[in-house]
A = this chain, B = another copy of it.
Amino acid sequence: MSTGVNLKELAAELKLSPSTVSRALNDSYEISEETKKKVVSMAEKLNYQPNPFARSLRENKSKTIAVVMPERMSSFFSKVIDGIEEVTHQHGYHLLIYSTHEDVEREKKIVNLLMNGRADAIVMSVSSQTSDISHLARLHERGFPLIFFDRICDNIPTTKFITNDYESSFEGTRHLIQQGCRKIAFLMLSKELSITKERYRGYLDALKAAGLSPTPSLQVTCAHEEEKNIEAIRNLLLSEDRPDGLVSSVEKLALATYHAVKKTDIKIPEDLKIISFFSNLSIAGLLTPSLTTITQPAFNIGEECAKLLIKKLTKPRQPDLPNQTISIPSKITIRASTLVEY
């Protein structure tokens, strides 16, 4: 089905051997310029396309990179992938993309499938359920190129790209305090996640630095279902110990908060000031009131992941991906949701 001419047929047409044609197409020094030209023009004429599987089989590489992430409906992850694609596309690499839907079992299944070499490398952000990382450790121990972004595994000695989670969260929380907040809530996904750990730490330290003591009831761990999250946040906002400020460690919980607020008569920013890690800038400005955001350099993170991998995969004898965590800073944009004067 559909497959056009192959190397042998092309060679027959040219009255040359397949090896010569292959070398000519790969611009080998062993072939005269004259025959190279003949070969190339005939290849174009017949629209010859090398079979990628034959090549992969022989060369033991696929020119494919796999991206594994927890969800697709997220401007952060979409932008990261746009960044990855931007550089991989220039180098002729293809992208296999998998969403785990925050499900470890699915993540394990995908990772194990990927161990057979279908992709040359994996770029990944772990699911919020992931605590057992044996599937990832195994992959890495086998020498499989693996790099993390955003939601990383600290224990696996490879390169990780993150934003300055701790500092951004610290600064964001400090901003709320400066705006007069004293009872600041913190919304997070699973506590297993690297990003919640760091962002939570930044939040706590900012409270401490201001002489405020953290209130356990103001720190809520959310789940995957939006409806439940909205309800949990509403309960928080209506509780006896209601917060006057709120830090959301991920985008979707900020949206859930706006939904929750809509169901009460709480006013933002008068009664409650909100700041969130957030990547969808267009929407941040459209919320009412507009949302103060900690904007992660999503596209840039994707680009850096890809650049490093491309270097590792294309240069002849590259060392392993170094065990380092590279941080690209976020940018805080203050909007109406945290302004004293609204």
Contacts and interface: CB of A to CB of B under 8 A. Distances in A.
Contact of A98 (B64, B95, B142): B95
Interface stretch (A15-23, A215-223, A282-290): A282-290
Interface in A86-108: 94-99
B81 A72 contact: yes
Interface in A43-96: 49-54, 56-57, 60, 62, 64, 72-73, 75, 78-79, 81-82, 85, 94-96
A148 interface: no
A117 B51 contact: yes
A3 to B, nearest CB: 6
A60 B3 contact: yes
A255 B287 CA distance: 11
A116 interface: yes
A143 interface: yes
A1 B145 CA distance: 9
A118 interface: yes
Nearest to A57: B53
A259 interface: yes
How many chain copies does the complex carry? Answer: 2
A200 interface: no
Contact of A116 (B50, B62, B75, B81): B50
Contacts of A117: 2-3, 49, 51-53
B78 A72 contact: yes
Given A51-B57, A53-B62, A56-B53, A82 B75 contact: no
A321 interface: no
B282 A226 contact: yes
Contacts of A143: 1-2
Contact of A115 (B2, B79, B259): B2
Contacts of A51: 57, 116-117
A117 B93 CA distance: 15
Contacts of A166: none
Nearest to A283: B283
Contacts of A286: 255, 258-259, 262, 287
Contacts of A53: 53-54, 56-57, 62, 117
Contact of A95 (B2, B52, B97, B287): B97
A57 B78 CA distance: 32
A263 B2 CA distance: 53
Contacts of A282: 226, 255, 259
Contacts of A57: 51, 53-54, 57
Contacts of A4: 115, 142
Quick one: which of A56, A144, A259 has the most chain B CB within 10 A? Answer: A56
A79 B75 contact: no
B94 A49 contact: no
A193 to B, nearest CB: 21
Interface of A: 1-4, 49-54, 56-57, 60, 62, 64, 72-73, 75, 78-79, 81-82, 85, 94-99, 115-118, 142-144, 226, 255, 258-259, 262, 282-283, 285-288
Given A3-B60, A3-B116, A73-B75, 4 more contacts: A4-B142, A72-B81, A95-B96, A262-B286
